[in-house]
Amino acid sequence: MNLEFSESERRFRAEVQEFLREHLPATLSTKVLGLKRLTRDDLMSWHRTLYAKGWSAPPWPREFGGPGWTAVEQHIFDEECARAGAPPLIPFGVRMVAPVIMQFGSREQQEYFLPRILSGEHAWCQGYSEPGAGSDLASLTTRAQRQGDHYIVNGQKTWNTLGHFADWIFCLVRTDSQARQQEGISFLLIDMKSPGITVRPIPLIDGEHEVNDIFFDNVEVPVGNRIGAENKGWTYAKYLLGHERVNIAQVGQARRELSRLKQLAARELSGGRPLLEDTRFRDRIAAVEIDLLALEITVMRVLSAEAARRDPGAESSVLKIRGAEIQQTLSELMMQAVGHYAVAYIPEALEVGWRAADGTEQDWPAFSSRYFNLRKTTIYSGSNEIQRNIIARRILGL
């Protein structure tokens, strides 16, 4: 396998770097690189900037308005955006529901929803997990009863990420309570402005508002907003989850944080010698860097399958496991690298302009928040234990 980039790929990297230098506002990159709190406007303004360039949907084929990039070009773009400190694209529209609409949606659904996802007019969120249905998603109980040309939806979704930012939500709902669990589920697209929807924040362990409970009280949803056939939503859900797990790998961000870790570990804190001089700590950094390289190669393989319009398959479970574990390991090593400076959690430090008692602007108070936040990566999108079961069945044949 040739791991060297071709001349055209190096030119593409230079093009991305030039675009980022010219169009990424310093106010945004400062927030991202300093681990500051991002607003909806921060995320959507960057989406609109990318849309103007034709780059707001890296994995999309040209026929639906995407750039039609190769797997390598997608990887280069993600890597350079992460290195420069660009805000992430909200994945629920571009990387999750859009592939489902492309593959299983009607022509009318494709023509209505895809351009609005592409432009950023519609921000999306996901309605999968429920209080009694997390990793055992097929046991969900949110009901959708058909009445003429509408469904009436009642129930609750939980651990909903960025629902307070969203215009639309894609939901798994039970449309046949008599069928086997997986066979009585449908996939609905629901306008978040519909009467009867209530969004309630769930404060996380770091005190931040990222996830929500969403309640549906007799919410009317047109039948035309159902993807594919009634009671076949489990098929579409599995397809979507494969794309979600690919996105969790976050190789570009992990590379950026690895570089930050090395810089921190090379500093002398409180008069002590740099932690990078400790052999065992260097070994841990080396181990995570090797894991990250292996993850990067696997991501390229899966992106190649996506570019060929193939289901990511069980390989996406490998990305979910290793990507989540690498993110957690980096956050743990970051905490160790700054020692007692990482103990204090200061919410105000997540805002631009906060300064420490000595008058300097430090990012170390955000490390504990990031550490706490990343505890969830091995749970969401199907826990890592569930992913190992998938690998055992579908790849190893056990």
* Per annotation, catalytic residue among 80, 130, 244, 257: 244
Q: Could you say which DSSP state residue 142 is in? A: -
Contact present, 142 and 153 (Cβ < 8 Å): yes
Question: With helix as H, strand as E and coil as C, how does 23-62 read?
Answer: HCCHHHHHHHHCCCCCCHHHHHHHHHHHHHHCCCCCCCCH
Please confirm, yes or no, whether 7 is among the known catalytic residues. Answer: no
Residues 6+ apart with CB under 8 A from 367: 35, 331, 334, 335, 338, 342
Residues 6+ apart with CB under 8 A from 348: 354
Contact present, 366 and 312 (Cβ < 8 Å): no
Buried b (16+ CB within 10 A) or exposed e, 200-221: eeeeeebeeebbbbbbbeebeb
Name which of 241, 233, 240, 168 is nearest 199 in CA terms: 168
Q: Give 59-81 as a DSSP string.
A: T--GGGTS----HHHHHHHHHHH
389 exposure class (CB count in 10 Å sphere: 0-12, 13-18, 19+):
middle
* Contacts by residues 16-22 (CB-CB < 8 Å, ≥ 24 positions apart): 16/76, 16/77, 16/80, 16/81, 17/80, 17/84, 19/53, 19/55, 20/80, 20/81, 20/84, 20/86, 21/84
Residues involved in catalysis: 244
